Structure 1
Amino acid sequence: MSGFVTAQRLVKPVLSTEPAEARRRVISLYKAWYRQIPVIVKHFDIPKSESQCKDKLREMFATHQDVKDLRVIDMLVIKGQMELKETVNVWKQKGHLMTYWHESREPKPKDFLSKFFNGSD
């Protein structure tokens, strides 16, 4: 039975057709965010310095550095562009930007007494 044909699924690219193009898009997005940080800090009056915001930007991009699938990279770039547009056009509020630091979140209680005192269980 040598007549078997392996089925290959062709996936349509979202934006990029090769890794170099996806890399250019990511670097372009990073630079766009980097250029807007001084304006964002001044306009939103957030209690973070420009260097702290730049560190957070670097951290956010580093969380996805192991992604190799071009479609996933393109979707992340699209989402990053949407976030940037919402931030620059002031469609977000100060609280939305501060959620990137997660300082207001408390860890969920794990043991019974903590859950009981918290009123969650």
Structure 2
Amino acid sequence: MANAALRNVKVAPNSASLEEARHRVFDFFRTACRSLPSVMEIYNLYDVTSISHLRSTIASEIRKNTHVTNPKVIDMLLFKGMEELKNVVDHSKQRHHIIGQYVVRQQGEGQVDSGKDQGISPFLKNFYKGNYF
């Protein structure tokens, strides 16, 4: 379902202004958030994270570049973001890549999401902590 939506989404080569680039960033964020249910399903992430946590991770990745004011640089970052999203949705990555990049590292110190903390065994907590830091 999200695959079909991503096939039709393309980042135009040049934004005319900073405002246009800003709108494209919001469109990218919406597209990424709409693909999260299928990402959760593809990689079976229900036991390690939630859609809201992944949404927050996407937002924080976008916020890392709030200092950028050149529309061409923003377009380049959008292109890279769209490429990453397409790789994730097309299942070009493995589950441990997704967990390492977007679940564990974003939480810091290797801790598993506190909302999901009760259902995870100490073995898995140590496993995630040991393999990603």
TM (norm. structure 1) is 0.70
> Superposed, which structure 2 residues align to 1:7-26 within 5 Å?
14-26=13-25
Deviations 1:7-63 (A, max 9, x none): xxxxxxx51121121112111110000101111112111211111111111111111
Show the counterpart of 1:114: none
Offset of 1:97 from its aligned partner? 1.2
Query: How many residues are treated as equivalent by the alignment?
Result: 93
Deviations 1:42-90 (A, max 9, x none): 2111211111111111111111112111121011000011011111111
Offset of 1:105 from its aligned partner? 3.5
Show the counterpart of 1:57: 58
Higher helix share: 2
Larger Rg: 1
2:39 matches 1:37? no
TM (norm. structure 2) is 0.64
Unaligned runs of 5+ in 1: 1-13, 107-121
- % identity of equivalent residues: 28
Unaligned runs of 5+ in 2: 1-12, 111-130
Distance 1:75 1:36 in 2: 21
**Secondary structure class of the residue paired with 2:30:** helix
